[in-house]
Amino acid sequence: MRVRTYIAESIQEALRSMRRELGEDAIILSTRTVRAAEKPDHELIEIIATAAPAHSSSPAVGEELPMASQLQQELAALRSAVHELSLQLRFGQVRSLPQWQLLWELAEREGFSESFLLRHSAGLDPSLPLPELQQQLRHSLLQHLRYVPLPEPSHHPLRIVLTGLPGAGVTTSLLKLALFYALERGYPVQIVSAATDTLGALEQLQLFSSVTDIPVAEVHTARELQRLLGSIPPIPQVVLVELPTGNPLHGQLQQLWQSYKSAAQPDATYAVMSATESSANASAFVQAWRELGSDALVLTKLDLAVGIGAVVEVLSTTALPIVALGIGPRIPEDFAAASPGALEQFILRGQQR
């Protein structure tokens, strides 16, 4: 079995060449348009074909090994042709270019679904140089995400409430926010923690307070929180309140959060979510936080995620914006206000970490 490729200016010319070499009974494996190497704007017709199987007598015993080797080679060539055809069907005639396949497969490894990639790559030119195509695809994949800036105090102290799942980095995000407002913005900051049942959280806050001189207070009930906030003088211009962590799908915890939120009367409520969440979890959690009145997400653990495609797909279909990014464990270095530019570095990374 012979597999041959024929490239010509027209389908008729390619067919004539094929029949001349393989005969009238040749089997066409695939057809597509390709770009001429010398003239990228010029399209040619490519046909991949094989000769029709010939009927012959059984081979002699001595011929079996050479024929087996030849059969393996021809099967490998056929697999290659079928693979090329599958790429054509998957990516389109032009999108089977090597650099496009590379980015597509990389995006899929990072958790992006094929349907999402098809929708968000329709307007791109796959013949662009790889760095330019990579940047355009990054921009396209993130274009439907929403971002909001971190708020500033106005005529009264700014109150921000943080909540989230255990292990998502709620306490670490709280400390990063505290240093952001204290160091970068120059505001006096007060931390209040209701996460008294979180192992090590209070000790971490007390150590942080001793190093930074940012005061930390502890409360155990919503009533205590209300009394404490009422007694704080207007000197701290930013008050950060950490709520108990837990699953936002649990009704009992929802009631607890709502009682604390009612006591805090916050200017903004942020839910902290890890970028390592699965698509199903992220979708359920984001929906629950929206219903609980969260204003935005703090997306954490970007440095630990193999890919953030699943989370990006969920966030591209929700009205809940992103306000900040946790890009590592260091405080305060690994913290950034949310923006397309800050998030782009975490998709289509290849081997870069």
More confident residue, 92 or 181: 181
25-29, 230-234, 290-294, 300-304, range with the lowest pLDDT: 25-29
- pLDDT-based confidence at 89, cuts 50/70/90? very low
pLDDT value of residue 151: 95
As a whole number, the mean pLDDT across the chain is: 84
Start-to-end CA distance of the chain, whole Å, equals 46
- pLDDT-based confidence at 95, cuts 50/70/90? very low
Total Cβ atoms within 10 A of residue 327: 20
Answer for the pair 257, 285: CB distance below 8 angstroms, yes or no: no
- Integer Cα distance of 134 and 102 in angstroms: 10
Q: What is the biggest distance separating any 2 CA atoms in the chain, rounded to whole angstroms? A: 100
- Integer Cα distance of 78 and 4 in angstroms: 10
More confident residue, 67 or 288: 288
- pLDDT-based confidence at 84, cuts 50/70/90? low
More confident residue, 55 or 204: 204
**What values do phi and psi take at 76, rounded to 5?**
-65, -40
Please give the average per-residue pLDDT across 95-117, as a whole number. 79
36-40, 228-232, 292-296, range with the lowest pLDDT: 36-40
The most confident of the ranges 53-67, 80-94, 100-114, 143-157 is 143-157
Q: How far is CA 340 from the centre of its chain?
A: 12
114-137, pLDDT tens digit by residue? 888 888 887 788 777 888 888 888
Asked if the peptide bond before residue 332 counts as cis, ω within 30 degrees of 0, the response is yes
**What values do phi and psi take at 160, rounded to 5?**
-125, 130
Classify domain 158-344 at the CATH superfamily level: P-loop containing nucleotide triphosphate hydrolases (3.40.50.300)
User: What's the half-sphere exposure (Cβ side, CA atoms, 13 Å) at 148?
Assistant: 16
3-class SS letters over 131-187 = HHHHHHHHHHHHCCCCECCCCCCCCCCEEEEEEECCCCCHHHHHHHHHHHHHHHCCC
pLDDT over threshold 70, residue 303: yes
Answer for the pair 338, 323: CB distance below 8 angstroms, yes or no: yes
Helix, strand, coil shares of the chain as percentages rounded to 5?
45, 20, 40
Please give the average per-residue pLDDT across 221-225, as a whole number. 95
Answer for the pair 209, 191: CB distance below 8 angstroms, yes or no: yes
- pLDDT-based confidence at 88, cuts 50/70/90? low
- Integer Cα distance of 222 and 227 in angstroms: 9
pLDDT value of residue 278: 92
- Integer Cα distance of 347 and 207 in angstroms: 35
Q: Encode burial over 141-169: b for 16+ CB neighbours within 10 A, e otherwise.
A: bbeebebbebbebeeebbbbbbbbbeebb
Answer for the pair 5, 27: CB distance below 8 angstroms, yes or no: no
